Amino acid sequence: MLTEMPVAKLSLNELSRRIGLAKSNVLRYFESREAVLLELLQAQMQDWVTDLEHSTEPDAGTPRKRGDRLAEIVAASMARRPVLCDLLAAHAAVLEHNISTEVAIQYKHAMRRSVQALTRLVERQLPELDTGDADLLVETILLVAMGAWPWSRPSEAMRAAYAADPELAAMGLDFTEVLRRTVATTISGLLARQQNPISDTTPTR
């Protein structure tokens, strides 16, 4: 269903109809539409992490080249997963509501495991970064993807506006390029901070 419609339009009634069960029977297994989608998000995240692990191997290039390559792989792999991107873009504002504390805890633990796996992958590719910086990079990847995805999917009216006015066309976002460029720039900045740490002490005069 999510290959046909955005998260916002997916209803529990339509889901029940498609699987041939009464809505009450669906609710025996999932407490809400949001709980169903959170379960799907967990599965999508796990599949994405596995895909990245199979797509990346330690490289002998310079840290900058390895960072650029990692940025390319991450951006391309995420762009191939529109359902994951749509769920990530909606999860804070939509999917984390209308759920119980029990479902929230289960979901957050699953997401935490996926984030930790991504952090380990970053550390293998860029051993120059410490765990804190690897965590920061993963956080940046996810936050940029959440923000850039809906902007890269403009409405019909906005697409028409971009087509009609060349000056506005530059405001359209290419999701893959935005994510690649932001991740590569963040890696470069983190590497530079590792190489040139700023002292916490203020020099005396």
Instruction: Provide long-range contacts, Cβ within 8 A and 24+ apart, for 100-103.
Output: 100/31, 103/31, 103/35, 103/38
Q: What is the CA radius of gyration of the chain?
A: 20
pTM beyond 0.95 = no
Question: What are the residue boundaries of the structural domains of the chain, listed by start?
Answer: 7-194
How confident is the model over 56-104, as pLDDT tens digits?
Answer: 877 778 999 999 999 999 999 999 999 999 999 998 888 999 999 999 9
Neighbours of 81 (CB within 10 A): 17
Under a CB-based contact definition with an 8 Å cutoff, are residues 127 and 47 in contact? no
Q: Is 100 exposed, middle or buried (0-12, 13-18, 19+ CB in 10 A)?
A: exposed
CA–CA separation, 101 vs 35, rounded Å?
11
Distances (CA, A) of 52 to 1, 25, 63, 186: 25, 36, 19, 19
> pLDDT class for 202, splitting at 50, 70, 90?
very low
pLDDT at 121: 95
How confident is the model over 114-167, as pLDDT tens digits?
Answer: 999 999 999 999 999 999 999 999 999 999 999 999 999 888 898 898 889 888
For domain 7-194, give the fold. Tetracycline Repressor; domain 2 (1.10.357)
Least confident of 30-39, 89-98, 166-175, 191-200: 191-200
